[in-house]
């Protein structure tokens, strides 16, 4: 894990705390954005997988 990834991981908990403090409609949109970002990061790692 490089420094940028570690910084992103460490920033996640404070970001989630900020989201939790928002009204429900804004919270839903913010969680959807976090979901999309995490999904993109996870799917981006699929390029190194091999068929087996």
HSE on the CB side for 8, CA within 13 Å? Answer: 9
Give the integer Cα–Cα distance in Å for 31 and 12: 11
Q: Which two tokens stand for residue 38?
A: 């995490």
Instruction: Kindly report, residue by residue over 1-52, the tens digit of the pLDDT.
Output: 677 666 677 889 999 999 999 999 999 999 999 999 999 999 987 655 555 5
Q: Which two tokens stand for residue 46?
A: 């699929």
For residue 43, what pLDDT is reported?
Answer: 93
């Amino acid at each position: 894990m490089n420094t940028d990834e570690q910084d992103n991981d460490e920033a996640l908990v404070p970001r989630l705390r900020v989201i939790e403090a928002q009204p429900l409609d804004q919270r839903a949109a913010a969680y959807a954005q976090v979901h999309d970002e995490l999904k993109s990061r996870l799917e981006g790692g699929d390029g190194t997988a091999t068929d087996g």
